[in-house]
Amino acid sequence: MFGVVDLPTYLVGLVLIVLLPGPNSLYVLSVAARRGVRAGYTASAGVWCGDAVLMTLSAAGVASLLQANPVLFAVVKYAGAGYLTWLAVGMLRAAWGMWRTRASGSAGNEAPAPAGERPFRRAFVVSLFNPKAILFFVAFFVQFVDPGYAYPALSFVVLGSLAQLASVLYLSALIFGGTRLAAAFRRRRRLSAGATSAAGALFLGFAVKLSLASS
């Protein structure tokens, strides 16, 4: 159908891929827990747009270019790792402020959002600066495109649309789960500070993992 082969296998693999934790889903969950459903969907839109760009670049063969050019791959890789590190530092600083506020017994239950935070832009950049994702998309998608089909672009659109649908369902679940966490965070300052610290540490881990990635 539309040049797509072995669709059931693709769907199984897609579900497993979407459910794997990563910086995109973690950031959406963090935004939803801190700022609510609307901000969570704003961040999700950034993820979906970033993924769409990666899929388009993969279909255009940019992934193969990165794989064949170690210097270009390294530039993209370290740019992405640097951005994830910057986000991690911001989260850890926010967590430190929460711990200090709790220790001093200051009034107020909600931690303010990071200054100048733009969920859409941040999520978009987190999604976009991921060379391993580009390589993965092209390696994964190509397996399910019939090489003899006359309109391969249509095959990529079908596969990409299914991937985006899975992402919408998954991130929606995270967003509404995040708003439930927000209520608990407002009641328990230690929980909020601990969760923010853990998120910052995980983003540092993502940055290290990306910086060690090879083409």
pTM for this prediction? 0.67
Q: Which residues contact 11 (CB under 8 A, 6 or more apart)?
A: 162
Q: What is the pLDDT of residues 158-199, one digit of tens each?
A: 888 898 999 899 999 988 887 776 665 555 566 666 666 776
Cα separation values, 61 from 13, 55, 127, Å:
22, 10, 18
Closest CA to 17 of 49, 53, 55: 55
| Cα three-residue angle 83-86-89, rounded to 5 degrees | 150
Secondary structure (3-state) at 147: coil
CB 137 within 8 A of CB 58: yes
Q: What is the pLDDT of residues 39-82, one digit of tens each?
A: 899 999 999 999 888 888 777 766 566 667 778 767 767 776 77
